[in-house]
Amino acid sequence: MSTGNFLRVTRRRFLTQTGLILAAASVPSLAAPFVSRALADTKSVSIVQWSHFVPEYDKWFDQFAKDWGTKNNLDVTVDHIPVANVAARAAAEASAQSGHDLFGWNGAGGAHLYRKFLVDVTSLVEATEKKYGKVSRIGRQIGYNQDDKTWSAFPDFYINFPAMYRKSMWDEIGMQPDTWDNVRIGGAKLKAKGHPVGISLGHSNDPNTTWRGLLWSFGGALQDTEGKNVVLNSKETIEAVKFVTALYKEAMTSEVLSWDDSSNNRYLVSGIGSLIVNPISAYRTFQKANKKGADDTFVMAPPRGPVRQIMGGASEFYGIWKFAKNKEGAIEFLKYYADHWPEAFKASEGYNNPCFANLVPKPMPILSNDPTSTPSDKLAVLQESEQWSASPGYPGPSWPAVDEVYNDFVICDMMAKAASGQMSAEDSVRWAHQQSDAIFKKWHEKA
């Protein structure tokens, strides 16, 4: 698969220089019943997406896309890029008004932030709902624009973030990491035994997702339910930040300040970590490296906070650029892909979670009974992950300001500044509120 070059334009630079006001390419909207005539005019379809943390999925997807192209006499290329490069790549393609036909985003910062540059795929989503059931709450947050009831992106899947813990270690101290308080108290005991908790405080999707979940579980939030006001500076947020500071000092080590999205995978596999909050790619990696250690690793719903039990979910979605050379081909591919989504679920080893109600009916294969796991129902809790997963805008809608706060790692930095002692909890919350408020005001003025 090709790995084409791209302009070195960071997302922040792109946003600063353009304010996302570049004139959209003059193309017809596909909101009306989408065209199925095409595939003929342009003989290629290009796709770019992140390198999946379950490598077997990429192998399946690449062959799947190639086979679809062969059936339709199209040359299909799939470029895989590191997950950390997705944001900059999107900025580069939007800035250059040139790039792939299908763009696969990981995390936030696409469907809403790049709305002016993306084809309206409302008809595609509605047609898929008729075949496979309603889009879930988290799926709707991914690409739905509540102001005009349109879709800017096709929701592919979401990634849940359960807790994974070494059962023998937690049994030894007689505790369960089922609440955040227990994670801190038990984590401190296990750190003393050489087995700290590992949750990243760096700049990547994992901490962006995990710390939002903890914030919500304490009753705090970035915005109100209408998405109009920043509500970060609250006693609930301050309590959440104070808790993270204590958790960091008592149960973790300083290495988490610089972790990327693969660090906690390696940490679990090392046998040192007693608990991480991460998608099951870490568990799958452990299975392949050390079956005995993986058998001792258990998966549970995220720890419960003082207000609720909830965790962030990473949004995965496809957008079609208005400047794409083969928009019709991209639409046709997504239709075919949706019809074969259970194959994608299987190829991801249960990592990709469905956004449409009936794509993978329960009991879900793999998750309900995984022959590679001991016990075989170890992953069954993930079938209900929609109940405790939410997108970055929670409890309000996702929209450009939410995406920009996500991309600027404001919530991560709020936690890290306090945890590392750079600021008090109150000052770090005040700083994060000011940063977020400036972003919200900018986008409100553009509305």
269 CB-near residues (< 8 Å, 6+ apart): 282, 285, 286, 289, 290, 293
Q: What is the pLDDT of residue 1?
A: 39
- Give the residue-averaged pLDDT of 192-196: 98
| Whether residue 412 has pLDDT greater than 50 | yes
Instruction: Answer for the pair 201, 248: CB distance below 8 angstroms, yes or no.
Output: yes
The CA distances from residue 247 to 232, 233, 252, 253, in Å, are: 20, 21, 7, 10
Q: How far apart are CA 161 and CA 35, in angstroms?
A: 37
* Domain 44-160+314-354: assigned CATH number: 3.40.190.10
Domain extents in the chain: 44-160+314-354, 163-312+409-445
Which tens digit of pLDDT belongs to each residue from 384-411? Answer: 999 999 989 999 998 999 999 999 999 9
In this chain, the answer to whether the domains covering 44-160+314-354 and 163-312+409-445 adopt an identical fold is yes
Percent of the chain whose predicted confidence (pLDDT) is above 70: 90
Mean pLDDT estimate for the chain: 91
131-169 b/e (C-beta count within 10 Å ≥ 16 → b): ebeebbebbbbbbbbeeeebbbbbbbbbbbbbbbbbeeb
Q: How far apart are CA 429 and CA 233, in angstroms?
A: 6
| Whether residue 425 has pLDDT greater than 50 | yes
Which tens digit of pLDDT belongs to each residue from 1-50? Answer: 333 333 344 555 555 544 444 433 333 333 333 444 445 566 999 999 99
- The DSSP secondary-structure symbol of 179 reads B
Percent of the chain whose predicted confidence (pLDDT) is above 90: 83
Q: What is the pLDDT of residue 34?
A: 40
Which tens digit of pLDDT belongs to each residue from 242-282? Answer: 999 999 999 999 999 999 988 999 999 999 999 999 999 99
Q: What is the pLDDT of residue 307?
A: 98
| Whether residue 289 has pLDDT greater than 80 | yes
Distance of CA 412 to the CA centre of its chain: 15
- Give the residue-averaged pLDDT of 116-126: 97
**Confidence band of 109 (pLDDT split at 50, 70, 90):** confident
Task: Look up the CATH architecture of domain 163-312+409-445.
Answer: 3-Layer(aba) Sandwich (3.40)
Instruction: Answer for the pair 343, 137: CB distance below 8 angstroms, yes or no.
Output: no
Phi-psi region of 88 (alpha: psi -120 to 50; beta: other; left: phi over 0): alpha
| Whether residue 185 has pLDDT greater than 80 | yes
Phi, psi at 51, each rounded to 5°: -75, 110
